[in-house]
């Protein structure tokens, strides 16, 4: 059995995504608004399909629903201990490490710190995570993003196919022919 | 599935040898139930084990040489290394990428099967312990970082959290070590703590001064190989901690610096995992550059999502239930058949769709899994934020629990979280 989990995630994501698309299927929005609706529905679908294995789904849903992140789930998840640990480690590291004074190391460290901050901003919910778990979250997020992109691409291609098939009604591709009949009938 | 059955048989066989392994190692290791537990989760998760028999051979070889001659053990262990899975006896000869990342995934904190819904706590908590101890046993013979073990051992005594993280980190690094082995893989005295892998990893990546410290005192490390490694073996290792600490050369033995070093090692080990995820980063070393690549990749993925959502919003909305069901079936029937990894290649998608559509003529309306839950979320999102704040956590919990129940979420999600290459570039 190939990875059932990848497929199941994609299926769940697809279902949720299609449901959300149907629900926001009102055509009175501008293109930008629709894009934003589609995008947020995709994010919400991804977060929902992910399940409870990472932190970014909750952060993603919180940001997409634009509700203040003071709901009951947040305080439980806030890894304050992690934050404290990070700061403490930084200070003690500076104290205990041998003073190397090599500027290349300091440059590298600065670069790493800067980029870690950038990554924190990109991964939803990354601000609360400490360096180690941030990398893990990023890994998880990347994998699911990739799946999301694949599913979105399929859906958009399928819908474009459908839209293309409806007008001319010449392409007899399986269900598209059926659907077009159903639509026009 | 045949694979699962055979793998389970293999696992049971390995489990028994794992038991004797533990008894030999005397201590610190979790009980067999952890092994079995992990193996079950692994069986459920991967299901792609090519050679369970080979794995059992490995296990027997390991238990034989246990603690005797380091070289022999290392050799016996190293033979299947490229495709060796961390869970003892489950070594299958995967393609290196997949095996590597799967190993990392299993060992990573995502695995907390016992952690239930606990998020951050669950990350580094129970799952790591399970994994870590079992992996600690299995990781013997990987590298010779006994000193690092000792240091980690001491650190285990000092802090609970770092130990669990070390365990998780070790498990991941084990896979990474097998893939990128810069150190000579000589044996291991046999009872490496999980953190030995992490240490090995960090040593590989970070300063080479550690090499000097390492090789300078191999003898002492060999003799004082911590027999009682493991998460709970603090008491037993105490008598050896002193020796281990002394054996370490050129390193600060302050507890703070130990914690710092452990943290750095874990970070480096995760960077290695990320290297496999992000395409084209196999040759890049160094945290800064890797972080840069990761950032670029995430940005590109997010931009792709934006672009695709824009494309979707331009299409004429003519959604039917048939289409949804068919699309679901499409994904079902062509799991691995997907377009390329990153580039926009709609033309590649077209033939696939054409292939699938004729076969899906009688596809009825797909069963919408959790439409209600999700609809609630979407309504909250679109309609107003007021009820969203209450509904969302509940909806989240509901959907999460559903998925947990339906998908065996932990092994499945962690399998997905760091999937190997067959999915990595095909998702």
pTM of the model: 0.44
Closest approach of B257 to chain A, Cα-based (Å):
6
Distances (CA, A) of B78 to B22, B61, B223: 20, 11, 22
State the Rg of chain B over Cα: 24
* Statement: residue B28 has pLDDT above 50: no
A69: contact with B, CB 8 A cutoff: no
Average pLDDT over residues B125-153: 44
Interface contact A171, partner B, CB < 8 A: no
User: Rounded to whole angstroms, how far apart are CA atoms A77 and A64?
Assistant: 18
Question: Is residue B3 scored above 60 in pLDDT?
Answer: no
d(CA B37, CA B130): 8
Give the sign of the dihedral formed by CA B55, CA B58, CA B64, CA B68. Answer: negative
DSSP A132-155: HHHHHHHHHHHHHHHHHHHHHHHH
Structure tokens at B297: 């990749």
Whether A83 contacts chain B with CB within 8 A: no
Rounded-to-integer distance, Cα B169 and Cα B160, Å: 14
Selected residue of B381, B383, B386, B391 to mutate for chain A interface (largest A Cβ count, 10 A): B381
Residue B316 is predicted with a pLDDT of 62
Cα dihedral: A111, B102, A9, B422 (round 10): 90
Mean pLDDT of the region B394-422: 44
Q: Is the pLDDT of residue B30 over 60?
A: no
Q: Mean pLDDT score of chain B, rounded to an integer? A: 51
What mean pLDDT do residues A100-128 have? 83
Considering only the beta carbons, identify the residue of B318, B377, B385 that sits closest to A183. Answer: B318
| Residue B123: pLDDT band with limits 50, 70, 90 | very low
Nearest CB among A48, A96, A145 relative to B399 is that of: A48
Question: Has residue B76 got a pLDDT over 70?
Answer: no
Distance from CA of A97 to the nearest CA of B (A): 7
Q: How far is A59 from chain B (nearest CA, A)?
A: 11
Percent with pLDDT over 90 in chain A: 0
pLDDT tens-place string over residues B172-182: 444 444 444 44
Of B372, B359, B368, B379, nearest to B321 by C-alpha is B368
d(CA A49, CA A40) in angstroms, rounded, equals 14
The CA distance from A17 to B313, in Å, is 13
- Residue B113 is predicted with a pLDDT of 46
Q: Which residues of B touch A41 (CB under 8 A)?
A: 378, 381
Q: What confidence score (pLDDT) does residue B320 get?
A: 57
Residues of chain B with pLDDT > 70: what percent?
15
- ipTM > 0.90, yes or no: no
Measure in Å the smallest separation between the Cα of A40 and chain B Cα atoms: 9
pLDDT digits (tens, 9 = 90+) for B402-412: 444 444 434 44
Tell me the CA distances in angstroms from B189 to B137, B185, B221, B242, one per residue in order.
Answer: 11, 12, 8, 18
Residue bearing the bigger pLDDT, A1 or B100: B100
Q: What six digits make up the tokens of A177? A: 């022919």
What are residue B277's phi and psi, to 5 degrees? -70, -50
How far from chain centre, in Å, is Cα B303?
A: 28
pLDDT for B299: 92
**Record: contact A179-B403, CB cut-off 8 A:** no
CA distance A16 to A41: 8
B315 contacts A163? CB cut-off 8 A: yes
How close B63 gets to chain A, by Cα (Å)?
31
Q: Is A100 on the interface with B (CB under 8 A)?
A: no
| Per-residue pLDDT band at B420 (split at 50, 70, 90) | very low
Check whether B187 has a pLDDT greater than 50.
no
Minimum Cα–Cα distance from B366: chain A residue:
A15
Instruction: Please state, rounded to an integer, the average pLDDT across all residues of chain A.
Output: 69
- Please give the average per-residue pLDDT across B380-394, as a whole number: 45
Cβ distance B17 to B60 under 8 Å? yes
Calpha distance A95→A98 (Å, rounded) = 8
Look at A100-109, A122-131, B63-72 and tell me which has the smallest mean pLDDT.
B63-72
Distances (CA, A) of B176 to A126, B117, B311: 24, 28, 39
**pLDDT per residue as tens digits for the range B287-326:** 788 888 888 999 999 999 888 888 887 776 655 555 566 6
Host H or E run for residue A79:
none
Q: What's the confidence (pLDDT) of residue A171?
A: 44
**CA–CA dist A113, A93 (Å, integer):** 14
């Amino acid at each position: 059995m190939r990875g059932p989990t990848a497929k199941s995630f994609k299926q769940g994501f697809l279902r949720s995504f299609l449901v959300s698309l149907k629900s926001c299927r009102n055509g009175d929005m501008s293109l930008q608004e629709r894009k934003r609706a589609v995008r947020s529905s995709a994010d919400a679908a991804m977060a929902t399909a992910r399940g409870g294995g990472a932190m970014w789904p909750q952060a993603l849903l919180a940001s997409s629903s634009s509700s203040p992140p003071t709901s009951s789930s947040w305080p439980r998840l806030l890894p304050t201990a992690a934050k404290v640990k990070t700061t403490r480690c930084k200070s003690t590291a500076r104290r205990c490490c041998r003073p190397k004074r090599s500027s290349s190391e300091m440059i590298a460290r600065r670069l790493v710190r800067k980029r870690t901050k950038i990554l924190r901003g990109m991964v939803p919910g990354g601000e609360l995570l400490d360096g180690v778990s941030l990398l893990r979250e990023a890994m998880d997020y990347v994998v699911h993003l990739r799946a999301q992109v694949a599913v979105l691409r399929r859906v958009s291609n399928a819908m474009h196919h459908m839209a293309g098939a409806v007008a001319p009604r010449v392409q007899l591709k399986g269900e598209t022919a059926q659907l077009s009949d159903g639509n026009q009938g | 599935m045949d694979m699962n059955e055979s793998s389970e048989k293999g696992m049971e066989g390995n489990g028994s040898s794992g038991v004797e392994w533990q008894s030999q190692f005397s201590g610190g290791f979790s009980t067999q139930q952890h092994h079995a537990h992990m193996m079950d989760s692994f069986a459920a998760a991967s299901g792609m084990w090519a050679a369970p028999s080979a794995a059992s051979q490995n296990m027997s070889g390991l238990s034989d040489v246990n603690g005797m001659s380091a070289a022999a053990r290392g050799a016996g262990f190293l033979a299947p290394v490229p495709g060796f899975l961390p869970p003892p006896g489950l070594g299958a000869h995967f393609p290196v990428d997949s095996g590597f990342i799967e190993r990392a995934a299993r060992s990573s904190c995502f695995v907390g099967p016992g952690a239930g819904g606990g998020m951050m706590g669950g990350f580094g908590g129970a799952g790591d312990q399970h994994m870590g101890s079992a992996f600690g046993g299995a990781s013997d013979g990987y590298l010779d970082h006994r000193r690092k073990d000792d240091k980690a051992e001491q650190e285990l005594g000092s802090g609970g959290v770092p130990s669990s993280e070390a365990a998780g980190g070790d498990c991941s690094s084990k896979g990474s070590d097998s893939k990128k082995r810069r150190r000579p893989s000589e044996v291991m005295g046999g009872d490496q703590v999980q953190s030995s892998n992490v240490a090995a990893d960090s040593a590989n990546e970070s300063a080479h001064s550690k090499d000097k410290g390492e090789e300078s005192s191999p003898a002492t490390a060999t003799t004082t190989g911590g027999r009682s490694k493991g998460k709970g073996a603090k008491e037993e290792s105490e008598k050896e901690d002193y020796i281990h600490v002394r054996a370490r050369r050129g390193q600060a033995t302050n507890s703070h610096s130990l914690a710092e070093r452990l943290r750095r090692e874990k970070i480096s080990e995760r960077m290695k995992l990320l290297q496999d995820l992000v395409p084209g980063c196999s040759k890049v070393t160094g945290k800064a550059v890797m972080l840069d690549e990761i950032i670029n990749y995430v940005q590109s993925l997010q931009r792709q999502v934006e672009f695709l959502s824009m494309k979707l919003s331009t299409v004429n909305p003519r959604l039917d239930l048939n289409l949804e069901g068919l699309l679901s079936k499409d994904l079902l029937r062509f799991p691995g058949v997907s377009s390329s990894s990153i580039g926009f290649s709609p033309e590649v998608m077209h033939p696939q769709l054409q292939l699938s559509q004729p076969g899906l003529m009688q596809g009825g309306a797909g069963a919408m899994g959790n439409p209600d839950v999700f609809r609630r979320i979407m309504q909250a999102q679109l309609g107003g934020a007021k009820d969203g704040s209450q509904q969302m956590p509940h909806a989240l919990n509901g959907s999460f629990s559903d998925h947990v129940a339906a998908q065996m979420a932990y092994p499945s999600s962690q399998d997905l979280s760091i999937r190997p290459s067959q999915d990595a570039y095909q998702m």
